[in-house]
């Protein structure tokens, strides 16, 4: 595998999830495929809860890519299908953490994500 800038960000973020946030490796999936409008897409990182439900989606971009509304639109489209509780977008330098508010069909920005419980 070639270590692209995006892959570097993904590997470091997975390390952060495991070492700092204490998420078990058994609940973390990389490049999980999903189908949206008959098109195959992949999540960069997908974290499951203890019951096997989608809990967190992480979208990784290369460090030189600016995180924009389009980036959030991409992860939000994925979440229409996955129904995860948290969305994270990172380019390794800037990290945006959101908790879903399904009742109001929006997300709430957070300073951080919770540690694994």
Give the predicted TM-score (pTM) of the model.
0.91
92 phi/psi in degrees, rounded to 5: 85, -20
| 5-110: in CATH 3.90.1570.30 | yes
At residue 1, the pLDDT reads: 60
pLDDT value of position 14 = 97
Q: What is the pLDDT of residues 32-86, one digit of tens each?
A: 888 878 888 888 999 999 999 999 999 999 999 999 988 888 888 889 889 999 9
**Beta-carbon count within 10 A of 10 CB:** 21
Domain boundaries, the chain: 5-110
């Amino acid at each position: 595998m070639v270590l692209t800038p995006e892959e570097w960000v993904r590997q470091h973020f997975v390390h952060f999830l495991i070492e700092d946030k204490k998420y078990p490796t058994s609940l973390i999936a990389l490049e999980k495929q999903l189908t949206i409008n008959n098109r195959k897409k992949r999540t960069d990182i997908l974290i499951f809860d203890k019951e096997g439900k989608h809990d967190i989606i992480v979208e990784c971009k290369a460090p030189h890519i600016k995180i924009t509304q389009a980036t959030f639109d991409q992860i939000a489209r994925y979440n229409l299908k996955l129904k995860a509780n948290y969305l994270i977008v990172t380019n390794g330098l800037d990290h945006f953490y959101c908790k879903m508010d399904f009742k109001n069909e929006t997300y709430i920005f957070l300073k951080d994500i919770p540690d694994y419980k």
